[in-house]
Amino acid sequence: MSDNLSFSRGEVALYYGSRVPALKQSGAEWRGPCPIHKGDDKNFKVEPDSGRWYCHSQCGRGGDILALEMELSSTAFQDAKGAVYGIVGRPDDSRGLRGGKTGRGGGDGWRQVAEYVYQDEGGSSLFRVVRKERGDGASRKKLFFQSRWHGGGWQLKLLDTRRVPYRLPKLLARLSQLSRFEPAKAIRISQGMP
């Protein structure tokens, strides 16, 4: 995998709670039937801290969250990333839009449709994700651009910028009540429900 996306423990719980809800705590890891080869035995292992998985049965391989999403949804990296972001509550169209639609057209045909600012616990800006689209209908393509807040402006590339979940202050308050892996509850939180 070429991605360097990292996910917080809370995001890892949200993702697997949604995608592989049959996982159960087993020592320091989560185990359950493999969702890729659709096994019956608990040969599928997940590291709660990193989200990395491994199937000890038929698949005999593992990877990170993006790799798993690409397997489960049979999509390429960019679409899988969008799906994972949606599941863990990072930017999507339906909520948390910050900055609004700009509709600005570019010479290359890409238009910026949304901007999402990620903040630390204290509400200070760390980085942002800008979503751009090109085309319409079935031919519509989308891309996400990341930049970090540095020196009073947005600089391309995150470098060693701390990665945090979207709406971290709010998410922290909600997830602090989760003391163990509780898929159903994590999903409700990700959907903004009590």
- Interface residues for Zn ion in 90-149 (CB under 5 A)? none
C-alpha closest to that of 48 among 68, 23, 19: 23
Distance, CA of 39 to CA of 10 (rounded, Å): 26
Contact at 8 Å (CB) between 121 and 115?
A: no
If one asks whether residue 34 binds Zn ion (CB under 5 A), the answer comes out as yes
Between 63 and 96, name the residue whose CB sits nearer to Zn ion.
63
Residues in contact with 156: Cβ distance below 8 Å, sequence separation at least 6, in sequence order: 145, 146, 147
What's the min distance (Å) between Cβ of 167 and Zn ion?
A: 33
Q: Which of 6, 18, 31, 37 binds Zn ion (CB under 5 A)?
A: 37
Nearest to Zn ion of 58, 73 (CB atom): 58
User: What is the smallest separation between the CB atom of 56 and Zn ion, expressed in angstroms?
Assistant: 8
Asked whether position 46 contacts Zn ion by CB under 5 A, the answer is no
Site for Zn ion in 49-88 (CB under 5 A): 55, 58-59
The residue type at 130: V
